[in-house]
Amino acid sequence: MKKRIAVLGSTGSIGTQALEVIDKNPESFELMAITAGNNADLLIEQALRFVPRHVVIGNESKYAYVRDALAHLPVNVAAGFDTIVKAAGLEEIDMVLTAMVGYSGLLPTVEAVKSGKDIALANKETLVVAGEYIKKIAAENHVQILPVDSEHSAIFQCLVGEPAKSIEKIYLTASGGPFRGKTREALEHVTKKEALQHPNWCMGNKVTIDSASLMNKGLEVIEARWLFDLPPDQIDVIIHPQSIIHSMVQFTDGSLKAQMGLPDMRLPIQYALGFPDRLKSDFPRFNFADYPSLTFQKPDTSVFRNLELAFEALRKGGNMPCILNAANEIVVNAFLNDKVKFLQMPSIIEKVMHKISFIPNPSLDDYCASDSESRTITRELITAKTVF
């Protein structure tokens, strides 16, 4: 039977590629629902192409525009964030691909898990913010969480058929972004245009800036802790500029498994949607002759401090990763709007981590409150310029 799929965040980079995968595998997937935050035009275009049963636009002011454009189709059009959350739990859906950006993906994912839907997880912030809670309710509802991030998909693929007790360490690879090898002095006056020039991947602005600062890798470290039930000292990061080895697992006998391929997000998306089957594709193939040298180096956390801040938040636990994530989302937005400099971002995040009350065993309400308070404090620090 076809898997009935909902794509939350269908107009973003992951969402559009997910629709491409669904389009190329009509015998395996049926698109049931798509949602977007603000991009009404692309959402309409997607609805016209796929005619899903449910279309939701988060921006309620654009509801009438989307409704009228799709009035001639058998499509249920709705609006508002609460409706996106409800769409994640619709009875006729088997799997939810969560591709919303940042903290906004948490509550829809919670709804999907509580409704018994398997999750293709592209929204790493869900596990960063509330990993322990999500894993708990996933176990209670017998839900699979299948990673879509290329690094976590690589680890997942390497672990198929392997007992958990055989894992010694996992290595998440990172390209190093556009500023790999740069000194702090060289990064003093970099622009957002320079930061958005990722050497290997085409991603949305927020993720691209996170990649440039290595915060994206830090968030992936926290996500990996919950996906694979590993303590921080069994998770490591290695810079691999070619982005061919997507991540590796080292086992207790000393052997190492790596998942390799060209940097193409459609592959991990298709693997997650199709699991446990490995579907055929016409994606470009890797050619060893094109990559005669694969190189590796340790990340410089004295320059890229966000990675170390993420490890600190993970070791602290509780609501600290939630605080880290909220502060990061605000400073990245400020950087994209020319309100802070590149090297000021980790300084602000660290300040917020020290100001917000630590909660060792947070509830879902605690996570939501910590997120809100962290955003408020971060905005106040940026406005006051007290840490610059």
For the chain, what percent of residues have pLDDT higher than 90?
93
Summarised one tens digit per residue, pLDDT across range 259-292 is: 999 999 999 999 999 999 999 999 999 999 999 9
Locate 247 and state its tokens.
Answer: 């991540």
Cβ-based neighbour number of residue 312 at 10 Å: 17
Q: Averaged over 240-248, what is the pLDDT?
A: 96
CATH 3.40.50.720 fits 3-143, yes or no: yes
Q: Averaged over 319-342, what is the pLDDT?
A: 96
Q: In which band, very low, low, confident or very high, does the pLDDT at 102 lie, cut at 50, 70 and 90?
A: confident
Q: What is the pLDDT of residue 171?
A: 98
Q: What is the largest distance, in Å, between two alpha-carbon atoms of the chain? A: 62
Q: Averaged over 319-333, what is the pLDDT?
A: 97
Summarised one tens digit per residue, pLDDT across range 103-112 is: 899 999 999 9
Summarised one tens digit per residue, pLDDT across range 343-380 is: 999 999 999 999 999 999 999 999 999 999 999 999 99
Summarised one tens digit per residue, pLDDT across range 155-165 is: 999 999 999 99
CA gap 245, 237 in Å, rounded: 12
Domain ranges of the chain: 3-143, 149-263+283-315, 317-388
| Per-residue DSSP letter, 62 | G
pTM of the model: 0.92
Q: What is the pLDDT of residue 388?
A: 52
- Computed over every residue of the chain, the mean pLDDT equals 95
- 35, pLDDT greater than 60: yes
Rounded to a whole number, what is the distance in angstroms from the first to the last CA of the chain?
Answer: 57
Q: What is the pLDDT of residue 47?
A: 98
- 202, pLDDT greater than 70: no
Q: Report helix angle 150-159 to 266-274, nearest 10.
A: 50
Q: In which band, very low, low, confident or very high, does the pLDDT at 197 lie, cut at 50, 70 and 90?
A: confident
Q: Averaged over 307-321, what is the pLDDT?
A: 97
CATH of 317-388, one of 1.10.1740.10, 3.40.980.10, 2.60.40.10, 1.10.260.40: 1.10.1740.10
CA gap 315, 310 in Å, rounded: 9
Q: What is the pLDDT of residue 386?
A: 60
Summarised one tens digit per residue, pLDDT across range 120-160 is: 999 999 999 999 999 999 999 999 999 999 999 999 999 99
CA gap 333, 257 in Å, rounded: 37
